[in-house]
Structure 1
Amino acid sequence: MPTKQMNTNQLYELRFKPVFANFTESEFNCLKKHLYLRSYKKGQVLFDEGDKREKLFYLKKGLVRIERFDKSASFQYIDYNNPDTLFPYGGLFSDENYHYSAYAATDIELYYLPTDSFEQQALYNPEQLVFLYKKISVILRQQEKRIQYLAVSSATSRIINTLLFLMENLGKHITPKLIEIPYPITINEIADISGCSRETVGSIIKQLKENHHLEYEHKQFTFINPTYFKSYSE
């Protein structure tokens, strides 16, 4: 689907999303002049690290993967944005360039608007600034938890904690006791996040399946025993 201007129903839907709800009618009217809807196919790049930070995105459908390599290209940071998420928060009101790269991990639909338009309308709205501060605090807390999960020497613990992190951030309850990640996650991605080899990850996941802690079919995880994974963070 090509880029297109927002229609009335789409604007109404966005108006009451938490990230836009604190704007006044006048402020939102300024924003909606610059809001667009676009779809991307799986694998398409939204932006690369170092690109000028010209746009903010609000994901409507699908999964976006973000990544960043260190200077030696030996170590990789990976994370995900799921639907009803504004991104990137990093650099708001300050940086000129994106901190990381982002691409469509599945087919996606998203809204976008110019960064400076959003920042100009938010800057003098105290309620909106408080909302953004709280969101950034949540992201910081999630990253602190991620560091705690992965700062262990045991490869098994790092892999299980990686699965826990993904379960907490991407998982959806399909029953009160079953949690499913409704997006494809590969063994290689688990290996990259946990800092373990693909072979080690495959072996641990095989053991977890045999012990009836999870299922992994067609690149999708279903957590049969979420309590087991949560026990690793205690």
Structure 2
Amino acid sequence: MPAVSPVIDSSEWDHRRSALAGLSIETGRRRNQVAPGGRKVTDRMLVIPRKKRRMRSPTEKVKTPYGLEVVENHIPYPLPKDRLFRNLPQAVRAELAAISLSAAYRKGEILFAEGQAPRGIFVIYEGSVKLSANSFDGKSLILHLATPGDVVGLPGTISGKRYETTAEALEPVQASFISRRPFRDFVRAHGEVGLRVAETLSDIYHATYREVRYLGLSGSAEGKLARFLLDLTADQDHDHGHARAKLILTHEEIADVVGTSRETVTRLFAEFKRKRLVEVHGSRLLIVNKASLQKLLA
């Protein structure tokens, strides 16, 4: 059935046309009001100029509250670690755009909580997110640090089971959110995406198994910290044993990752710096002697 255009009478059309011209119209009887010069205002139309608003140029970038770049059209753009949506055909990417929403989070805000019914997945574009599990007595274990290109919330979104971790922004985060039902329908419709989902879930399983084995079987605290620092710089190019990374976790949070106390982490950092294994400048980490750190893993 064709769409029916609404009928607009002449007075309403005049009002709309004047509003578009940047004016607000107010009508009515003004017998008791006095205009400049002492003349009475009788039946007349009072025209009040509207406040001018700055129009954004189509080429001007939109600013977000946290200084992050808006993801145009909600289409995931290529990222080095993004293998779930990378190199999809343009038509498939357009379908993805239709079900994706862009979202920004402040540092410390929660994307989803452990035990919460799954709402969907989050694709991280900027910033970092920690995935942690918490015990009833208040202990916390950080299982993964999600960085640009990572997808969080995938296992629960696919299985329908509650989120097993809490996802918290470690810094301002820009992400794309896709609700559970539309995402599952999207996966069903595209076999290639389904295969990538299976590969990603396999990666999550192996990474979790590796962390459990590492925490349970690794001998010394210094070996655990050395492993954490080496993993942190694993994606960086090493030049003569040197690699740089950004330390976004506090000593207490690093302790939650490696399964030790904050005091032990602080002491080991001081020891590593004294032995010229690492250098720390604010939030910047420099691996000075990779070979010596690797020996601590034995």
- TM-score of the aligned structures, taking structure 1 as reference length: 0.83
Q: 1:206 to 1:224 in 2, by over 3 A?
A: same
SS in 2 for 1:18: coil
More helix by share: 1
2:233 counterpart (167, 172, 175): 167
1:34 aligns with 2:99: yes
Deviation at 1:229, TM superposition (A): 2.7
SS in 2 for 1:227: helix
Deviation at 1:33, TM superposition (A): 1.5
Instruction: Quote the residue 1:221 is aligned against.
Output: 285
Moved over 6 A (4+): none
**Structure 2 residues not aligned, in runs of 5+:** 1-63
Deviation at 1:218, TM superposition (A): 1.5
- Residue by residue, what CA displacement relative to the aligned partner does 1:73-128 show, whole Å, maximum 9, x if unpaired? 33534421000111122224212422111111011111112122111111243322
Instruction: Quote the residue 1:156 is aligned against.
Output: 222
State whether residues 118 and 157 of structure 2, in contact with CA within 8 Å, keep that contact through their aligned partners in structure 1: no
SS in 1 for 2:124: strand
Deviation at 1:212, TM superposition (A): 1.2
Deviation at 1:174, TM superposition (A): 7.3
SS in 1 for 2:197: helix
- Residue by residue, what CA displacement relative to the aligned partner does 1:108-167 show, whole Å, maximum 9, x if unpaired? 111112122111111243322221222222222223332333322422222222333333
C-alpha distance in structure 2 between counterparts of 1:126 and 1:221, whole Å: 41
Structure 1 letter corresponding to 2:83: P
C-alpha distance in structure 1 between counterparts of 2:127 and 2:90, whole Å: 29
State whether residues 6 and 37 of structure 1, in contact with CA within 8 Å, keep that contact through their aligned partners in structure 2: yes
The residue correspondences of 1:25-174 to structure 2 (distance < 5 A) are 27-150=92-215, 151-168=217-234, 172-173=236-237
When structure 1 is superposed on structure 2, of 153-162 and 192-201 the one drifting more is 153-162
C-alpha distance in structure 2 between counterparts of 1:53 and 1:19, whole Å: 19
Instruction: Quote the residue 1:186 is aligned against.
Output: 250
| Matched residue count | 230
**Structure 1 residues not aligned, in runs of 5+:** none
Q: 1:30 to 1:136 in 2, by over 3 A?
A: same
Larger radius of gyration: 2
2:294 counterpart (223, 227, 230): 230
- TM-score of the aligned structures, taking structure 2 as reference length: 0.67
SS in 2 for 1:68: strand
SS in 2 for 1:216: strand
State whether residues 15 and 28 of structure 1, in contact with CA within 8 Å, keep that contact through their aligned partners in structure 2: no
State whether residues 22 and 128 of structure 1, in contact with CA within 8 Å, keep that contact through their aligned partners in structure 2: no
State whether residues 75 and 93 of structure 2, in contact with CA within 8 Å, keep that contact through their aligned partners in structure 1: no
SS in 1 for 2:121: strand
CA RMSD, aligned part only?
2.9
- Residue by residue, what CA displacement relative to the aligned partner does 1:16-73 show, whole Å, maximum 9, x if unpaired? 9532247565544333112122222211121111222112111111111111112333
